[in-house]
Structure 1
Amino acid sequence: MKIALVAQHTTSLAEDARLRELSRSLAGKGHRVTVYARKDGAAAPAKAELEPGVQIELIGPGAKHASDESQLLAQVPAFSQPLHERWRHERPDVVHALRWTSGLASLAAARDLRIPVVQSFDSLGVAERRHHVLPVSVGTERIRLEPAIGRSVNAVVAGSSDEESDLTRLGVPRRSIKVVPCGVDTDEFNPEGPVADRTGRHRLVTVADLQEHDALATLLQALSKVPGAELVVAGGPPRAKLRGDMAYRRLAKVAESLDVTGRVLFAGEVGRGALPPLLRSADLLVNVSEYDPTGMLSVQAMACGTPVVATAVGGQVDAVVDGTTGILVPPGRPALLAQRIRQLLAHPMLLEAFSVAAADRARSRYSWDRIAHETLAVYDTAVDKAAALAA
């Protein structure tokens, strides 16, 4: 099968780990994959063979780097027309658009060519607006257009059951939606391998944007009720630059007011290579994000054999099996969060059982081999649907 992956939001596979792993996994199953990404004006070749079966083509005038969705939307016509010309001369069997502006470009380019289009949104505007991630003053075009895209394509890949519910409320037929989560690299994230240095205390780890002040303040409040435990907060600027970061300074004041400063380490930005050792060093990953469409951090921790305590939102509800691979708690409940953490830390055998179950679930449900297999099944459905409509 000749597969076109359209990623107008990015300029290279290095920027998007999910896109890189998906294309590699699809090619590993014998398919030819072409990734269409945005040219940003840099002196990069227009075409490149990244590895056997995976080619990337950069499209666009390269005159301006798009830094937000409004700019990406404005560049859709300049992106879709070259796509149309390429597909007219070398037709792919299926197109998979990643994110909403890629969907617009793909639908425009595939028009009159009878090429089936599959859509992944990654995160919906209505969900981001509901969770206050998307300000009321922006995203109007996106919220208006995403339902139309979902109803126009041949199939939609939802990243979670929560996203599937949102899509059906937006009028996308449920029969057109298939839940396929983001995968995890189980060669990189697994229980074996280096472990970051740690003290003799119980260790909690969280990885978050320091701008998520309310969620992290909730975690700090919970920590104050878990005597003897330490918390490593990974995220934000590099550690050497933390003191100049306003979000860090606000959280440091919260930690001081709760008298937990001595038990909190703000690690700053943690590179991808350092993340698995950090996750392996934790007794628990605590993911308190108030909006998490994929639950990917929780899955990465589970793949490392680290149980998870997470807020019951978005993709985390699918990822964490409550009472088996971790614990789910409602957001904004520091006392309950602390209680659940204490219960787990007080029972080492239960933690060990959770660890084994977590690693097994990550391998069996979230390996890229399985995700590629399920994605190909969606492509087959889209191709059959397009053929039936054309008959």
Structure 2
Amino acid sequence: MDSAVFSSSGVSGVPDSQPLTIALVSANDVPGWRDAHVRDLAAALGARGHDVTVHHSPLAGDDELQLGDFVDTLRSEWSGARPDVVHAHFWRAGLAALLAAQPCGVPVVQSFHGFGRRAEVERLVGKQAALVVADGEDELFALAAAGVPRSKIQVVARGVDVDLFQSHGPVAVRGELRRIVTVVDPMGDNGVADLVAALPRLPDAELVVVGTRPADADRLGRWARRLRVEDRVRLLGPVARKDLPAVLRSADVVACVPTRPSWDALPLEAMACGVPVVATAVGGLTDAVIDGVTGLLVSPRDLKQLARRLRVLLDDATLRTACGIAADDRVRARHTWPEVAAGADRLYRRLLAPPEPARRRRTGRAGVPTVDGART
């Protein structure tokens, strides 16, 4: 298990309230934005004065032995140095955190970042956690519908590294064609095949796909050749995170069109780069993209509507500029890491606050209860 410590020592702007000892647990086996999310949250909490340790183990598939080893390691560490609160990210980490925290009585906060991949296990984790953090209203409703008590669910917005993702900076080289950019999530339903299928209706546009694995690249290449648009589909493969903003800034439009709810950092990162987004109206995308303001929403699997809405943005430079400005403003108002960490901080403290003592009720001469000494 890899652990990283974000110490509060020497950090300026430490709040007056008592710092907390926080354990963040991430047990996801795919690198990329998931690792970046936990790392950035840890850094932002550390900047608020907390002592934060990140426990990361690449739990793959349903390897019960590996899960057991991870639980034993966490349990051993926490029995010697008990954190105030544990915040687990993704369902595997949540399961491990609950099992490890139970003996020492540490409360576990759970973030799924997309609910519904393993509904039965997720429901169990959600019910057993002391608090469940939803990334938006759509996930909140999904959690409540699955049986997680509504009183346990709180919404904290997703975070974006606005120092990395911003509208000003280098721009990747591009040609004269209009450019649509999308980024593949290896664990998600990306809808990239639908974007390729929309290209015959967009003869002056190219599609740039970031993050394709070899098997996906072969499949998409065959699909593009079948539709005779292979000369306008560029499969970049993995791109280093530090280089991604330049690719996003080179786009006229960024597209994120999964067919079912997913948690994806792409729309917010594109918005932070001042680029309008076309997204399917599913899951948290409806929280990220405001239709007609920061981009356009489309129905999943509706190729004609997808092509029309892409065409609207590609043809209207004024609309693209207006949406890009509004998108950047929205991210900086709601999704910066200091803002997200402040929201998480409030939830941790509310969870750890002792319950207020009930006011004593005394009985009067006639057996009638009195409150605060006043006879009723």
TM bucket normalised to smaller: 0.7 to 0.9
For the residue of structure 2 that corresponds to 1:198, the secondary structure is coil
Q: CA RMSD in A?
A: 2.8
| Deviation string, structure 1 residues 187-219 (Cα, Å, up to 9, x no partner) | 110001100011122211112258989932321
Change (3 A) 1:179 1:15: closer
What secondary structure, in the 3-state scheme, does the structure 2 residue paired with 1:342 have?
helix
- Is the 2:212–2:235 Cα contact (8 Å) retained in structure 1? no
- Are 1:11 and 1:37, in contact at CA under 8 Å, matched by a contact in 2? no
1:86-131 Cα distance to aligned partner (Å, 9 max, x none): 333332211112222332333233325332221112233xx23xxx
Gapped runs of 5+ residues in structure 1?
39-64, 129-141, 238-244
Letter in 2 for 1:176: K
What is the distance in 2 between the residues matched to 1:21 and 1:374?
14
SS, match of residue 388 in structure 1: coil
- Greater mean alpha carbon deviation, residues 92-101 or residues 166-175: 92-101
8 Å Cα contact 1:213-1:251 kept in structure 2? no
Alignment partner of 1:388 is 2:355: yes
Task: Please tell me whether residue 67 in structure 1 is matched to residue 43 in structure 2.
Answer: no
Match of 2:129 in 1: 153
Contact 1:295 1:314 in 2 (8 A): no
Tell me the CA shift for residue 248 of structure 1: 2.6
Partner residue in 2 for 1:36 = 55
Question: Cα gap change, 1:148/1:253 in structure 2, threshold over 3 Å: closer, same or farther?
Answer: closer
Return the letter of the residue paired with 1:328. L
Residue in structure 2 matched with residue 16 of structure 1 by the alignment: 35
**Offset of 1:33 from its aligned partner?**
0.7
Aligned residue identity for 1:289: P
Contact 2:85/2:109 (<8 A) preserved: yes
AA aligned opposite 1:169: A
Shift of 1:357: 0.5
Give the deviation of 1:348 after TM superposition.
1.2
Equivalent position of 1:355 in the other structure: 324
Secondary structure, in 3 states, of the residue corresponding to 1:119? strand
Matches within 5 A, 1:231-246: 231-237=207-213, 245-246=214-215
Aligned residue number for residue 15 of structure 2:
none
Q: Aligned partners of 2:178, 2:336: CA distance in 1, in Å? A: 29
* Contact 1:280–1:306, Cα closer than 8 Å, also in 2: yes
1:193-247 C-alpha deviation (Å, 9 max, x unpaired): 100011122211112258989932321221211231222122224xxxxxxx443
**Equivalences for residues 285-304 of structure 1 within 5 A:** 285-304=254-273
The Cα shift of 1:81 comes to 3.7
Structure 1 pair 16–213 and aligned structure 2 pair: CA distance change class (3 A): closer
* Partner Cα distance (1:331, 1:85) in 2: 46
Alignment of 1:203-218 (within 5 A): 203-208=179-184, 215-218=191-194
Match of 2:365 in 1: none
- Residue in structure 1 matched with residue 44 of structure 2 by the alignment: 25
1:331 counterpart = 2:310: no
**Contact kept? 2:190, 2:256, Cα under 8 Å:** no
- Asked if the contact 2:189/2:262 (under 8 Å) is kept, the reply is no
Greater Cα offset, 150-159 or 99-108: 99-108
**Residue in structure 2 matched with residue 307 of structure 1 by the alignment:** 276
Q: Distance in 2 between matches of 1:213 and 1:31?
A: 36
Q: Sort the Cα spacing of 1:212 and 1:248 in 2 relative to 1 into closer, same or farther, 3 A.
A: farther
Aligned position for 1:188: 164
1:107-256 alignment, distance < 5 Å: 107-124=98-115, 127-128=116-117, 142-208=118-184, 215-237=191-213, 245-256=214-225
Deviation at 1:294, TM superposition (A): 2.2
Q: Secondary structure at the match of 1:205?
A: strand
* Higher relative contact order, structure no. (Cα contacts within 8 Å, ≥ 6 residues apart): 1
Determine helix, strand or coil for the equivalent of 1:265.
strand
Amino acid at match of 2:153: I
Once residues 114 and 168 of structure 2 are traced to their aligned partners in structure 1, the CA distance between those partners, rounded to angstroms, is 32
Listed as ranges, the gaps of 5+ residues in structure 2 are 1-19, 359-376
Deviations 1:331-351 (A, max 9, x none): 111111111111122221111
Which residue does the alignment assign to 1:45? none
- Indicate the residue corresponding to 2:92 in structure 1: 101
Match of 2:82 in 1: 91
What code does the residue aligned with 2:355 have? A
Look up the match of 1:52.
Answer: none
Q: Which amino acid aligns with 2:241?
A: R
List aligned pairs for 1:337-348, cutoff 5 A. Answer: 337-348=306-317
Distance 1:362 1:390, change over 3 A: same
How far apart are 1:11 and its partner, in Å? 11
Higher helix share: 1
Bigger Cα Rg:
2
| C-alpha distance after superposition, 1:345-383 (max 9, x if no partner) | 222111110010011111211111111111111212221
Assess if the C-alpha contact under 8 Å between 1:163 and 1:293 holds in 2: no
Question: Aligned partners of 1:350 and 1:280: how far apart in 2?
Answer: 16
Contact 1:25 1:369 in 2 (8 A): yes
Amino acid at match of 2:349: D
Separation of aligned partners in 2, 1:30 and 1:149: 29
8 Å Cα contact 2:189-2:260 kept in structure 1: no
When residues 229 and 318 of structure 1 are mapped into structure 2, their CA distance, relative to the original with a 3 A threshold, is same
